[in-house]
Structure 1
Amino acid sequence: MPSKSTGDELEDFGCCPACTGANRTRSVFMKRELYHEFAKTRLFASYPTDLIAAFHPGFSQEEVDSWRPTLERILDLDVPSVFTNYNVDEATEEEEILLKLGARFLKKPEENQWRGRYPYLDPATEPYAIYYLNYFWYIVKGKVEGGEAAR
């Protein structure tokens, strides 16, 4: 695991022996700031985003209003953005939020065939529901024409 980045530099993340032997590299940068704030930095501008992955973001559950600028920025980038959720309720709620923002769905929320292997009991539900890590997933890329999604 690379050390925590403190500035605008890339950290070498290392590769498997086969990739290293083929002169491939893998670098990352880690920032503790909101994505839409990070998007204003020189580092962000220097390395264009190809793909966004948000594992269990929970933006329909907590801090809903604070997520709006980040979600808008993600949609404005017009790159494939993969989101995962613990359950169908979260996935459906996030879909509704993104539709209101005009998101174009490449893949609507569905059960993820690559979800975690082990089931967990959700003590917050009655009767206890089962969830998996990355149980549901969906992909968005930019906005539909006109900016508002059709229902």
Structure 2
Amino acid sequence: MPVTLHPVDRAAWEADAQAQLDLARIYADAPSERLPAPVDAFIHGHLADGHRFLCARFNDRLIGAVAQRDDGEAWWLSHFCIRKPTRRRGVGTRLLTLVGQAAQAEERALRAELGQLRLADQVLLVRLGFRLEQHESFHELLMPERSQ
């Protein structure tokens, strides 16, 4: 079964106990310095603000996520995390590819605030083929060019 994109907004999260558990497990694996609040408070706050998580789903479980907010022009990404047991297996690559494709389909740019992309994140994105255009307060993530 392939990794698929699974958006989780507040309504989906409230209706799906497994999504609640999986999202908490994903962010429990994140380094504490990368989250602005304890895991539950971070998830609740992000969803309460009307935002969502774009998640990697495999075998009916969420195994990775990126926090996303939509300002009508761009999708702002932050707090990218993959569960420890599934790291280094291509899940992050697949998730970012699916997020990029979904953003293109919605005619949205992908952006991340400068403080959200640590050097390791930037290196990963470049390795995946993204081009990073730095603006005054954010990076624009330009999708890799795919040969036809």
TM-score, normalization: structure 2?
Answer: 0.38
* Structure whose residues are more often strand by fraction: 2
Bigger CA radius of gyration: 1
* Structure whose residues are more often helix by fraction: 2
TM-score, normalization: structure 1?
Answer: 0.37
